[in-house]
Amino acid sequence: MKKLFPVILFSLFALVACSDDDDNNNVPLNNAVTEFISTRYEGAKIRSSEYENNGLLEVEILHNGKVKDVYFNSQSNWVYTTWDVRRADIPSVVKSAVSEAYPGYGIDEVDFVERETISYYAVEVQKGNAEIMVYVSPDGEILESSVGGSSTKPVLSDAVRSFIDENYPGARIVSYEYDANGLLNVEIVDGIIEKDVYFDNNDNWVQTDWDVSAERLPDAVLQALANAYPHYVIDSADFVERPGDVEYYEIELEKAGGAEIVVKVTADGEIL
């Protein structure tokens, strides 16, 4: 029904000059992005910048002889960085872990993925037509694996898994990905309800939401909407949980002519 937060356009001030091979498709970069790159990747040269299909900003840099892709969300916050790893540079402990877990498979490609809370090697292995993506920590611990997975697929940290186990006991993790704001969106099935659980780049819980049918909205909510928006009808509704025991219904209303509004209402009918 919604996006977690409105996508904020990157500032067009503080433009950065890129390399001579840049073209007119480069996205102008603001101070927050360029300062992060110059601080974390000292001496790096910015080569190009563009938006990905998922809304993240990808900045390609040359750092210490390596081409790296640095990703930022719509608020110019760093999400993760990734780069190709040559076979000769794969740590022996990583190669040993993969070969022991997947005997008979050969290493095809390797990327290193760097996040604030976790870093790992994404190792694509092959045997015949079979392909598996194996996610391995720098000390050789296999974190996850998936058939046909992407090298930039998020790997869930212990903090994220623990939060879900503690707050949604028995829930099954279905999928997870970054949204356009760089938040980690973990889809779970809690009982019979599909829920989206969001975490920031430090693995702090941000929000959980799930669809609610209009028929299941509390009477107090329906009455509040009828009083405040008499000419509107309910299009869709979500229930939202946020830190600090904040809970409310987020309801999209529409009326003839196509006008739409989003209203937040507590369970006892208070319009926020």
Residue 58 lies in a domain: no
Q: Does 143 lie in the same domain as 113?
A: yes
Residue 81 lies in a domain: no
Check pLDDT > 70 for residue 23: no
Check pLDDT > 60 for residue 219: yes
Last residue of a domain, one of 97, 126, 147: 147
Q: Give the three-state DSSP class for 95.
A: helix
Residue 205 lies in a domain: yes
Residue 79 lies in a domain: no
Domain of residue 112, CATH code: 3.10.450.360
Residue 131 lies in a domain: yes
Count the neighbouring beta carbons within 10 Å of the beta carbon of residue 11: 14
Residue 73 lies in a domain: no
Q: Does 205 lie in the same domain as 178?
A: yes
Residue 256 lies in a domain: yes
Range of the domain at 253: 212-265
Residue 117 lies in a domain: yes
Partners of residue 249 on adjacent β-strands: 239, 265
**Rounded-to-integer distance, Cα 246 and Cα 241, Å:** 6
pLDDT-wise least confident of 56-65, 178-187, 235-244 = 178-187
Check pLDDT > 60 for residue 185: yes
What total of structural domains would you count in the chain? 3
Q: What pTM was computed for the model?
A: 0.69
Q: Would you state the pLDDT for residue 128?
A: 87
**Rounded-to-integer distance, Cα 153 and Cα 82, Å:** 11
Q: Does 223 lie in the same domain as 196?
A: no
Task: List, for residues 74-92, the tens digit of each pLDDT value.
Answer: 889 999 999 999 999 999 9
